[in-house]
Amino acid sequence: QSALTQPASVSGSPGQSITISCTGTSSDVGDDNYVSWYQQHPGKAPKLMIYDVVNRPSGVSNRFSGFKSGNTASLTISGLQAEDEADYYCSSYTSSTTWVFGGGTKLTVL
Amino acid sequence: QVQLVESGGGLVKPGGSLRLSCAASGFTFSDSYMSWIRQAPGKGLEWVSYISSGPSYTNYADSVKGRFTISRDDAKNSLYLQMNSLRAEDTAVYYCARRFTAGRYNFYGMDVWGQGTTVTVSS
- Whether the pLDDT of residue B104 is over 90: the answer is no
Burial of A60 (0-12, 13-18, 19+ CB in 10 A): middle
Question: What is the pLDDT averaged over residues A19-43?
Answer: 95
CB within 8 Å: B109 and A100 = no
Residue B103 pLDDT? 81
Residue B54 pLDDT? 81
Closest chain B residue by Cα to residue A60? B111
pLDDT category of residue B122 using cuts at 50, 70 and 90: very high
Between vectors from CA A65 to CA A59 and to CA A70, what angle results, nearest 5°? 140
Contacts of B51 (CB under 8 A, 6+ apart): B33, B34, B35, B57, B58, B70, B71, B72, B79
b vs e for A87-106, b when ≥16 Cβ sit within 10 Å of the residue's Cβ?
bbbbbbbbeeebbbbbbbbe
What is the C-alpha to C-alpha distance for residues A98 and B48, in angstroms, rounded to an integer?
A: 9
What is the C-alpha to C-alpha distance for residues A105 and B37, in angstroms, rounded to an integer?
A: 18
Task: Note the helical H segments in A5-80.
Answer: none
What is the C-alpha to C-alpha distance for residues A28 and A41, in angstroms, rounded to an integer?
A: 26
Question: What is the pLDDT averaged over residues B93-113?
Answer: 93
Closest chain A residue by Cα to residue B50? A98
Are the CB atoms for A7 and A21 separated by under 8 Å? yes
Q: For B59, phi and psi rounded to 5 degrees?
A: -150, 160
DSSP type of residue A3 = P
For chain A, say whether B17 makes contact (Cβ under 8 Å).
Answer: no
Contacts of B75 (CB under 8 A, 6+ apart): none
Question: What is the pLDDT averaged over residues A83-92?
Answer: 98
What is the C-alpha to C-alpha distance for residues A37 and B111, in angstroms, rounded to an integer?
A: 11
Q: What is the pLDDT of residues B3-59, one digit of tens each?
A: 999 999 999 999 999 999 999 999 999 999 999 999 999 999 999 999 999 877 999
Q: Chain A: nearest CA to B4, how far in angstroms?
A: 11
What is the C-alpha to C-alpha distance for residues B45 and A46, in angstroms, rounded to an integer?
A: 9
Best A48, A53, A100, A105 member to test B by mutation, with max B CBs in 10 Å, is: A48
Q: How many CB atoms lie within 10 A of CB B50?
A: 25
Q: What is the pLDDT of residues A49-59, one digit of tens each?
A: 999 999 999 99
Residue B95 pLDDT? 98
Are the CB atoms for A74 and A63 separated by under 8 Å? no
Length of chain A: 110
Q: What is the pLDDT of residues B67-93, one digit of tens each?
A: 999 999 999 999 999 999 999 999 999
